[in-house]
Amino acid sequence: MKYNIAFIMILVSAQNMLAQSSQSFMTSGGKINVVFAVIFIVFIGIIYYLIRIDRKISKLENK
């Protein structure tokens, strides 16, 4: 148990030492635009899926 706690503490401290702020990391390479594009595409896909499901349900209700 003592070794598990020590191992977790070492992992957490190592992550903090090598961490770079996410804002500078994303904006340095222009990757923030890619993130926004992917989020936008996923959002459009969800909207399209909901519209298709709504149309199918409407057809079933009319029958």
Average pLDDT over every residue of 11-24: 60
- Residues with Cβ within 8 Å of 26's Cβ and at least 6 positions away in sequence, in order, are 32, 35
Residue 13 has pLDDT above 90, yes or no: no
Report CA-CA distances (Å) from 63 to 26, 49, 58.
51, 22, 9
| Arithmetic mean of pLDDT over the chain | 79
The residue extents of the domains of the chain are 2-62
pTM attached to this predicted model: 0.53
Average pLDDT over every residue of 43-56: 96
